[in-house]
Chains A and B, each alone.
Chain A
Amino acid sequence: MNLAIIVLIVLFSVSSFFFARTKVKKIAISNQTKLNALPDYYGYYLSLWCALPALLILVVWTIFEPSIIKAFIFQGISGENAQTYNNSELNLIYQQIKSFHFGYFTGTITEEIIRGAESYKSFLSIAQGSKVVLLATIIIFTTLYALKKILNNNKAREDVEKIFKGLLFLCSLVAILTTIGIIFALLFESIKFFSVINVFDFLFGTSWSPQRAFVRDASTITAEEYADLKNAFGSVPLFAGTAFIALIAMIVAVPIGLFSGIYMAEYANTKVRKYSKPIIEILAGIPTVVYGFFAALTVGPFFREIGEKFGLEVSSESALAAGLVMGVMIIPYISSLSDDVINAVPQSLRDGSYAIGATKSETIKRVVFPAALPGIVGSVLLAVSRAIGETMIVVMAAGLAANLTLNPLESTTTITTQIVMILVGDQEFDSPKTQSAFALGLTLFFATLVLNYIALRVVKKYREKYE
């Protein structure tokens, strides 16, 4: 339906382009006047006015139509029945009504659902009809308005350019909208979560087992139950696990990445550079799910076998395996960034050092590296923020149980793993368990935001220093 409307609008707008173009040409010839712009611009002007407002309205309508119909249906259900439903029950009934309407409902059909489906159908057709009428009116009015302007020989090019610039500006606003959307989505559920669980209990509690928590109604929690709940949502083990795995990853990635970067920038001839740099960057292009598969299938069992030989008990989902593979994934981020940063150090610093007799490695260690340090720190911080936000490797290779441990051979869990585990499969909405995933997401978002901000500032400051 929407597709047909869009096609119609576009067709109409394209034809109005040609209409306007020939129209102004004719007028110009018959009135012996000079046009204020090329005839094409009059065409653009009319077709933009014809299509843009209508498309905008259509988008807004399509976005809000389902939620408005939903609200009406809710009203209908609670209005008809004496019994009152809570939100999740209403949602369930709404889903049933919808699936009944589209003909794939399986389950017992009740009177309520049939009646709901009927009203759903009528709401749909009302919405459909009013949408078409509204769009038609808008198109007629905007087209008439633009036509009048054209016939008065307006400054079409300037007007078109204004509209165009406005369009460009709107597109760049999408970035802000996305950020707002993220914050809204995370905050909305997190606030609900924190109304049940105290923020400090969440941030500083040391026991995490959300599968134990089933709360139906948040308002009726007794103090005793809360003590139990508190123990289900203490996220310190997750923070510790995340930091631990990220640390292992950094222990692997920083030396290898840094030395590769230094070698590439200072020692390698063009031929070595030409081939080795893209090969190392392949590591950054491999999807993380591939690393996860690799860690779970090859690296994890490999460590366990080695551990068995030495009489050590190694979990097949050890933090070591996940951290190691994550480290490999991060190598290119550190190596190419530090390569860039080292290349940006002015040659005069090196020449000065060579002139007083330093060897190449001494120059690198005592002159180039200290000069490049802020940039390198920035790149390491960016890598850390990647490591803590990385999901698939830890979901597939790290464990699920929230152990508070510093033994790399045991299994630990991370923030991202828990978010996935909570939200995969059937979720009950409005339960603290589901909401806790959003609270974890909020923590993750802010942690990476702070790291990225610091890193970008450091790198930027560093660049300015040598430019």
Chain B
Amino acid sequence: MNKDQLLKKRYGAEKRFKFYGLVSITLAILFVIFLVNVIFSKGRTAFQRTTIAVEVNFNTEELELSSNASIEEIQDADFYDLSINSLLKLYKTEGAKQEKELLRIFSPDHDIEIKNFLIKNLDNLNKNVIVNLTTSDDIDQLHKGNYPRHLPEERRRISDFQLLIYDQLVKENKVNKVFNTFFFTNGDSRNPEVAGIGGSLFGSFFTIIITLILSFPIAIFASIYLEEFAPKNRITDFIEININNLAAVPSIVFGLLGLGILLGTFDLPRSTPLVAGITLSLMTLPRIIIPCRASLKAVPPSIREGALAVGASKVQSVMHHVVPLSIPGTLSGTIIGLAQALGETAPLILIGMVAFVVDIPATPIDPSASLPVQVYLWSEQAERGFVEKTSATIMVLLSFLIVMNFIAVYLRQKFEKKWS
């Protein structure tokens, strides 16, 4: 091999090596794009709800109400018969089977929906009104184009007769898409078309607030102690080893801690944001302490010495000068730690937050779910509608995380002093 060939070979190797690096980075970025794309394309449709316009006659006699019924009276009234009658007028049916199929086009709670409509629009009593009623999940998915209607009938959940009705209704312009407010206000449900993340939003909110209240002061105090006051001795070393190890302990182990100690020994209420918050704050604590200490360390010693020189005590120099200067870094570290806690699932599953909870929690000691747990719960469901609901929940969760991370980055870039 002569000199030129060798040189060529070496340059070739150089190019290839650089190429590998470029490919790796591109692959990693492509993964991000692909993942986000899958979630968004699947979840986008969940923000819309399919409704069918139905004519309802709110006849007070038929409902056994007085002619100017109060809200309480309407609340207690039975709307089931009225609802069935109005729905059956939509399309001519023969026999009980076809009737049942027609009714199954709608979400099972259609009578309650009609009742709620009347309560909101009390002046519609004794009138013929068009009400938009939520369709069942299958029709919802069909209308959004997610349902394979070309399959043979026996492999579909929608019968030919239902398809016939659906096509007729579409022709009559009675099938509409509206913004899905249910998704944000409702609690969990077995029926995907009315299932919402209202409950888990509140659950996550309470959990994060408790995590913040518990972990933020303790983390700041601990990092001030370790960075400014701790003497160099065995106890300090031991604390530092503990913090570094805890930051890397798998989250599921904290779930076992919550289950064994908080639920087992201290007998706190299961499935509640209270226990979840305590568990997550124990988990987040070391992850907040580490960036807090870094930002305290970044304050130059001249600040401390200046304060001491004009007669401040050690505590005064730290609390009046060092800590205020480190606040941007501390806050952004805390927010990032909380963002991690918000997305954490495994420990919450172990402390029983996987229970099926319909009600929206009013206090931190009510049983509830949280956003990531809701993702897990819905991903286990077989219904088609839950796939888009799961993806949409992920979109909501990710947007919270993005906002939190942006705030953290903004705080750091805008307010953190650069010491040179």
Contacts and interface: CB of A to CB of B under 8 A. Distances in A.
Given A175-B242, A182-B253, A267-B21, A293 B350 contact: no
B199 to A, nearest CB: 17
B38 interface: yes
Contacts of B244: 452, 456
Interface string A155-170: 0010001001101110
Interface string B195-234: 0000000000000000000000110011011100110000
B252 A164 contact: no
Interface in B370-406: 372-373, 375-376, 379, 387, 390-391, 394, 397-398, 401, 405
B31 A420 contact: no
A444 B375 contact: no
A169 B239 CA distance: 10
B398 A290 contact: yes
Contacts of A189: 260
Given A171-B221, A283-B32, A391-B251, A263 B22 contact: yes
B253 A171 contact: no
Contacts of A438: 256, 260
Interface string A254-283: 011111101110111000100010011011
A61 interface: no
Interface stretch (B125-133, B185-193, B337-345): B337-345
A175 B289 contact: yes
A309 B27 CA distance: 25
A298 B25 contact: no
A289 B376 contact: yes
Contact of B286 (A161, A175, A257): A175
A209 B125 CA distance: 62
Interface in A114-164: 157, 161, 164
A292 B394 CA distance: 11
A463 B405 CA distance: 29
A352 interface: no
B261 A175 contact: no
Contacts, number: 257
Contact of B248 (A282, A298, A382): A382
A62 B22 CA distance: 58
Contact of B28 (A164, A168, A178, A256): A256
Contacts of A181: 257, 261, 282
Contacts of B218: 171, 174
Nearest to A272: B25
A344 to B, nearest CB: 16
A423 to B, nearest CB: 5
Interface in A53-98: 63, 66-67, 70
Nearest to B391: A293
A185 B285 contact: no
B18 interface: yes
Interface string B351-377: 000100000000000000000110110
A294 interface: yes
B410 to A, nearest CB: 14
Contacts of A283: 28, 31-32
B243 interface: yes
Chain B contact residues (Cβ within 8 angstroms of A): what range?
A: 35 or more
Contact of B267 (A70, A165, A259, A279): A70
Contacts of A174: 218, 222, 282, 285
A448 B250 contact: yes
A161 B29 contact: no
Contacts of B222: 168, 171-172, 174-175
A317 B398 CA distance: 25
A391 B347 CA distance: 9
Contact of B401 (A260, A287, A391, A453): A287
Contacts of A260: 21, 24-25, 28
B242 A361 contact: no
Contacts of A282: 32
Interface in B35-55: 35, 38-39, 42
Nearest to A98: B267
Contact of B24 (A259, A266, A424): A259
B401 A185 contact: no
A408 interface: no
B17 interface: yes
Contacts of B249: 182, 389, 445, 448-449, 452
A416 B250 contact: yes
B200 to A, nearest CB: 12
B343 A287 contact: yes
Pick the most buried of B32, B224, B238: most chain A CB atoms within 10 A of its CB.
Answer: B32
A182 B407 CA distance: 33
A289 B245 contact: no
A361 B13 contact: yes
Contacts of B289: 175
A331 B10 CA distance: 29
Given A441-B252, A441-B253, A157 B313 contact: yes
A157 B229 CA distance: 17
Nearest to A364: B17
B38 A294 contact: yes
B357 to A, nearest CB: 14
Contacts of A173: 239
Interface string A329-344: 0011001000000000
A167 B375 CA distance: 40
A321 interface: no
Pick the most buried of B224, B346, B390, B394: most chain A CB atoms within 10 A of its CB.
Answer: B346
A225 interface: no
B245 A179 contact: yes
Nearest to A357: B10
Pick the most buried of A184, A280, A360, A391: most chain B CB atoms within 10 A of its CB.
Answer: A391
A390 interface: yes
Interface string B269-292: 000000000000010011001000
A214 interface: no
Contacts of B387: 297
Pick the most buried of A263, A385, A444, A453: most chain B CB atoms within 10 A of its CB.
Answer: A263
B11 A359 contact: yes
A389 B397 contact: no
A176 interface: yes
Contact of A392 (B42, B221, B256, B345): B345
B398 A286 contact: yes
B21 A420 contact: no
Given A289-B376, A396-B376, A424-B354, A452 B39 contact: no
Given A294-B35, A298-B38, A359-B11, A184 B261 contact: yes
23 contacts: A165-B229, A168-B229, A172-B222, A182-B257, A185-B256, A186-B253, A186-B256, A256-B24, A259-B24, A276-B29, A279-B32, A285-B401, A290-B394, A294-B39, A359-B14, A361-B17, A364-B17, A385-B248, A391-B345, A444-B250, A445-B253, A448-B249, A452-B248
Interface of A: 63, 66-67, 70, 157, 161, 164-165, 167-169, 171-176, 178-179, 181-182, 184-186, 188-189, 255-260, 262-264, 266-268, 272, 276, 279-280, 282-283, 285-294, 296-298, 328, 331-332, 335, 359-362, 364-365, 382, 385-386, 388-392, 395-396, 416, 419-420, 423-425, 437-438, 441, 444-445, 448-449, 452-453, 456
Interface of B: 10-11, 13-14, 17-18, 20-25, 27-29, 31-32, 35, 38-39, 42, 217-218, 221-222, 224-226, 229-230, 238-239, 242-246, 248-254, 256-257, 259-261, 264-267, 282, 285-286, 289, 313-315, 339-340, 342-346, 349-350, 354, 372-373, 375-376, 379, 387, 390-391, 394, 397-398, 401, 405
